[in-house]
Structure 1
Amino acid sequence: MSGHVVLRARRENPLRVAGTECLIDRPPITGGNMTPMSLPAPTLHTARLRLRPFDDADADDLFALHSSAYVLRYWDSPPWSERVRAQRFITACRQMAEGGTGVRLAVDRVSDGAFIGWCSLNRWNPDYRSASLGYCFDDAAWGHGYATEAARVLLRWAFDTLDLNRVQAEADTRNVASARVLEKLGFVREGTLREDCVVNGEVSDSWVYGLIRREWRPSSEPVPAR
């Protein structure tokens, strides 16, 4: 499998204060009583994968993933150089769920329990019934269909639980692997954001993809959660 199974994350954090961290500086989405709407992160299962909330023990694996220039070749910010970034990332994931803006889940391989990446739905807007998909997987996990499998089970949970109507995703136009993953999931390429990102002086474009609820085709595999 050529390319890199990574989706850009800048739409999660317009200020890009902490690179790929989530919306820790955005106000929480509120309901009619103006109280925060928390979104407890689920644990989801497929035949080969377990998606679960992050915990502090994931910090070393996270740093290894996000410090790889090869894995983050098509990311929207440079690779991490400080281990503290991993703990900030985990804290931001908790704040995301507590603030009701989305969920980001660690992905473990069932066969050996290894952490292989993460998958997220961010910027959940209950009024617009929309959210944004993101994911990042270790290069050793590429080419096995893990990104498609993880994203599919998370999308199924989200459509069933959050009553979404639309999910959006963005990928570097050079990232053919992620484009294939999105298209397998039923996403439609809707346009190109020209010169949308600059990392270390390199300018790149982004493809915008959208998945509408009426076009969603979930797999037949059951999705137990606990």
Structure 2
Amino acid sequence: MNTELPAPLVTGLGLRLRPWDEADLDAMVTLFDHPDFARWTPLVSPFDLDAARAYVQRSQERRESGSTLQLAVTTDGRAPLGEVLSISRLDEPVPAIELAYGIGAEHRGQALASRAVRLMTGHAYETHPGARVILRIVDENTASQRVAQATGFHLSDEEPVTREVPGRPAAVLRTWVHRPDAS
């Protein structure tokens, strides 16, 4: 049995954020095959082992290209409790790093989302000086709005962003911008 911990990319606040790997497939199905992930994220639903395999592959490709970090949220470096993403939006009129996150239903109430967002916000400022850090949240997702407020983000007056996922209604997202002095 391999007892080596996967290399974390970001650590702190009691978390070890690390890349997804093949050993996570079953845990990913448990986390992501849930109505909340189907409602609030672009993940396929149902989310099965084939979807998990494809997701791990895409996450590795995106990490290697530098476009996106998709990291398992863990406390011990092993068991995934959710995910946090850092997406490069440097081609937008105002260059940005967009963060996104989701915590498994059975792991909520431990401030995992807010801790992961705080860690990745700091990471974004360290790796992309000059870029703003944003979240994009659907108006109805009040839990994510509370995380945004708790971590120093404020709702901007920017035009909403519409994103489409095949087979689902279009998601209309509002942009929340981090205030570096507020976290």
TM over 0.5: yes
Structure 2 counterpart of 1:176: 142
2:175 aligned partner, one-letter code: V
2:174 aligned partner, one-letter code: W
Higher helix share: 2
On the 8 A contact 2:16/2:75 being kept in 1, the answer is yes
In structure 2, the CA distance between the partners of 1:93 and 1:199, relative to structure 1 (3 Å rule), is closer
Structure ranking higher on relative contact order (CA contacts 8 Å, 6+ apart) = 1
State yes or no: 1:216 paired with 2:176.
no
Gaps of 5+ in 2: 1-6
1:76, CA displacement in angstroms? Answer: 3.8
Give the 3-state SS of the residue equivalent to 1:72 in structure 2. helix
The number of equivalent residue pairs is: 175
Provide the aligned C-alpha RMSD in A: 2.9
In structure 2, the CA distance between the partners of 1:104 and 1:201, relative to structure 1 (3 Å rule), is closer
User: Normalising by the residue count of structure 1, what TM-score does the alignment of the two structures yield?
Assistant: 0.66
1:161, CA displacement in angstroms? Answer: 2.3
Gaps of 5+ in 1: 1-40, 220-226
In structure 2, the CA distance between the partners of 1:57 and 1:132, relative to structure 1 (3 Å rule), is same
Match runs of 1:17-166 below 5 Å: 43-76=9-42, 78-110=44-76, 113-125=78-90, 129-166=95-132
Give the 3-state SS of the residue equivalent to 2:27 in structure 1. helix
In structure 2, the CA distance between the partners of 1:194 and 1:117, relative to structure 1 (3 Å rule), is closer
What is the percentage of aligned positions where both structures have the same residue? 23
Offset from partner CA, 1:36-58 (integer Å, 9 cap, x none): xxxxx952222421111211101
Moved beyond 3 Å, runs of 4+: 126-129, 194-205
